Structure 1
């Protein structure tokens, strides 16, 4: 065992090859040569007394022993990396950051992330999944996820980043056909693009307690889909106002029932690191918080 612990460089090379999918890709990521990576894997296989990879000219795959070893060793190396990252100053944050956030939130944050956040943090690698469904933070291996709305009781660490205004919007073409509603009863008569949460239509609840259950032919499970359908004139959509503010300003969408106040919803960051979160998690959360607060003013 002591001998294996001394092979930390070889263990890291092994994990990099698995994650990159090839010796050459792992070498590029590590700034070394495929030959050096191959020798590291050879030394590790010799120490273990087992083949970790099946090799051919075009295919590299894990053996059964390699798969079992990877499942054990990769989380340990990740913990070591995260522990080191947690005590680095934010300016020195580095490593891979796996993130999930709602689709339309990702759409409006794409430019700030690409033009500001990543250039300012060249040692970070950002892997982002744009999904409105609630992912399994631990089971699916995410470092941090961003969610809009109240979070159910959870063992995850939760931080509120901003309070977001919500809006009911429709296209001018839809309103030309149906008229602009001035009461909740009139609003109920309009077709909606229904937001589906776990397969069920999400009701719209106003601050005074009034509730509308949207009706319409089209149901979608993403904010980006709702926005696109609303722009097509399919129906009224219930969305984060910041995601459609440009559409409202350009006249492509009209905000409805502004006299009937909708509650603001919290934008929250969730992670499973407890108090010892890697610096990269706090760095991205701070950036998202600043961006969303500026958009909500």
Structure 2
């Protein structure tokens, strides 16, 4: 008989109960079995092991040397099984490590300011935060949650929407002083238009001319794979960029950046989702806690 066909942990449970309760009848009551079922199980166990575990008499049971050794090992194994189950089934208590993959923009502007609050609520959790604009394979990178912007493609991932943000063209005051403030789409031609060096859902800047939306190509002298690097380039006066509103709102309020071409902004929104591998069973408490926290606190607007 294959080991897969034998409930070995169940046999160990019954055997330990027989030993600790001192008889088949008491063990049968504890295990919700009949005494004859316990007796048959013990017989099958001894036959399979090829050793007598218990010497039976009409008045009491006595462990054989093999039975004593087996009893000690069984109690250890069952305790380890209980601990293994507790380690992954902590009820509502969030415990363990969470690996998060996020863009630097979301990580710096929305996630980082909330980390201390989340850890105070869940002191048993530790976070690994990996910042990259690259779309990673969650299973291959052993990532629990990834933050992704843009339209969601069909996949096996589960997505939880964190909000949507306006996109806006911005420039530094120094750049405007040098090249002027563009007010028409044609005037953008003389400005250095910075962008990303990876393929995006819209390869260019959607702009409205009053009747329709056109997509202006990005032909600047600098491209980058990092939204935060692009933001810093704009702040330093290297050119214009079209960025998510939540990443530049503070810069505009502080005077580091200026919103331009707002009359030609088509008002399109970029959605942001937390995605995770959610198929095949309930989520661990730690993952569920962070998803709920982000959905409440990290609202993207």
Q: TM-score, normalised by structure 1?
A: 0.66
Report the equivalent of 2:267.
262
Residues 241-277 of structure 1 show CA distances to partners (whole Å, capped at 9, x for unaligned) of 1111111001110011112233111111111122622
Aligned ranges 1:193-204 → 2 under 5 Å: 193-198=194-199, 202-204=203-205
Residues 201-229 of structure 1 show CA distances to partners (whole Å, capped at 9, x for unaligned) of 94122475321111111110111100110
The SS at the match of 1:197 is coil
Q: TM-score, normalised by structure 2?
A: 0.65
Unaligned stretches of 5+ residues in structure 1: 7-78
CA distance in 1 between counterparts of 2:256 and 2:141 reads 38
Report the equivalent of 2:182.
181
Report the equivalent of 1:280.
286
CA distance in 2 between counterparts of 1:200 and 1:218 reads 19
| Contact map agreement 2:213 2:266 (CA 8 A) in 1 | no
Distance change (3 Å), C-alpha of 1:199 and 1:242: closer
| Contact map agreement 1:97 1:280 (CA 8 A) in 2 | yes
Of residues 242, 249, 274, the one that matches 2:246 is: 242
| Contact map agreement 1:100 1:146 (CA 8 A) in 2 | yes
CA distance in 2 between counterparts of 1:82 and 1:186 reads 62
CA distance in 2 between counterparts of 1:265 and 1:82 reads 39
Distance change (3 Å), C-alpha of 1:83 and 1:123: closer
Aligned ranges 1:1-297 → 2 under 5 Å: 84=89, 88-89=91-92, 92-198=93-199, 202-206=203-207, 208-259=212-263, 260-274=265-279, 276-293=282-299, 296=301
Larger Cα-atom Rg: 2
Structure 1 outlier segments of 4+, above 4 Å:
79-83, 198-201
Report the equivalent of 1:75.
none
Give, in angstroms, the shift of residue 83 of structure 1: 5.6
What is the total number of aligned residue pairs between the two structures? 217
| Contact map agreement 2:144 2:287 (CA 8 A) in 1 | yes
CA distance in 1 between counterparts of 2:86 and 2:167 reads 39
Give, in angstroms, the shift of residue 81 of structure 1: 7.8
Give, in angstroms, the shift of residue 292 of structure 1: 3.4
Distance change (3 Å), C-alpha of 1:180 and 1:292: farther
CA distance in 1 between counterparts of 2:94 and 2:154 reads 30
CA distance in 2 between counterparts of 1:282 and 1:236 reads 39
| Contact map agreement 2:206 2:216 (CA 8 A) in 1 | yes
CA distance in 1 between counterparts of 2:115 and 2:103 reads 17
Report the equivalent of 1:73.
none
CA distance in 2 between counterparts of 1:276 and 1:162 reads 24
CA RMSD in angstroms comes to: 2.7
Residues 130-151 of structure 1 show CA distances to partners (whole Å, capped at 9, x for unaligned) of 1111011111110110101012
CA distance in 1 between counterparts of 2:206 and 2:290 reads 31
CA distance in 2 between counterparts of 1:283 and 1:185 reads 49
